[in-house]
Amino acid sequence: MSLNVAVIVGSLRKGSFSRSVALAVKELAAPRMNLNLVEIGDLPLYNPDMDENTPAPWARFRGEVAKVDAVLFVTPEYNRSIPGGLKNAIDVGSRPYGKSVWQGKPAAIVSVSPGLLGAFGANHHLRQPLVFLDMPVLQQPEMYLSKAGDFIGEDGKVNNEATRDFLKTFTGKFADWIERNRGAGR
């Protein structure tokens, strides 16, 4: 049976390095995992005043995340942290209080950057809210992908075999992690 995994891409840009990596992981994870990108670009900013009349994009997002076994976050780094759209998606999914769609779902993080640090800051900042939301986060292998322009071609595909092999190893470890931690904390 295939594991159902939501993929949340932190970058809203269609041609982003993060989206390219997410699509490569989706391909490499099959058939053991079925990865589906859950879009965050249409989510209104979280405001508790709107909880009583839930906006349709919030309901769609919460519904898509609620039905999966696990969540993979693929994100760039903005100003040594996570992008605002990603933080908003985390907030939308965690509310209203007591109805978080994140609770107990195993998670993993891939951070992607054209720079040398591989979005290290974003990767570690993202771990903080995930721990609070009771999401067991895969610790090893850590995935900091630096110099993304060197392994993503003009066609938007990961074209470096060493990077593809690393991503394949990562997907196997993540699937093992999901099987060990599915339903933790629920």
Task: Give the pLDDT of residue 184.
Answer: 65
Cβ–Cβ < 8 Å for 69, 3:
yes
**Structure confidence by residue, pLDDT tens digits, 151-184:** 898 898 999 999 999 999 999 999 999 999 986 6
Q: How far apart are CA 165 and CA 29, in angstroms?
A: 12
Name the CA dihedral angle for 79, 84, 89, 90, rounded to a multiple of 10 degrees.
50
Name the CA dihedral angle for 50, 36, 135, 121, rounded to a multiple of 10 degrees.
-90
Residue 185 reports pLDDT greater than 60: no
Residue 109 reports pLDDT greater than 90: yes
Task: Give the pLDDT of residue 115.
Answer: 85
**Structure confidence by residue, pLDDT tens digits, 22-81:** 999 999 999 999 999 999 999 999 999 999 999 999 999 999 999 999 999 999 998 999
Q: Which of 22-26, 118-122, 148-152 has the lowest mean pLDDT?
A: 118-122
Cβ–Cβ < 8 Å for 144, 111:
yes
Provide the mean pLDDT of the chain: 94
Cβ–Cβ < 8 Å for 28, 168:
yes
Has domain 3-181 been given CATH number 3.90.1170.30? no
Is the whole model's pTM more than 0.75, yes or no?
A: yes
Task: Give the pLDDT of residue 111.
Answer: 95
Task: Give the pLDDT of residue 174.
Answer: 97
Task: Give the pLDDT of residue 116.
Answer: 83
pLDDT higher at 1 or 129: 129
Residue 186 reports pLDDT greater than 60: no
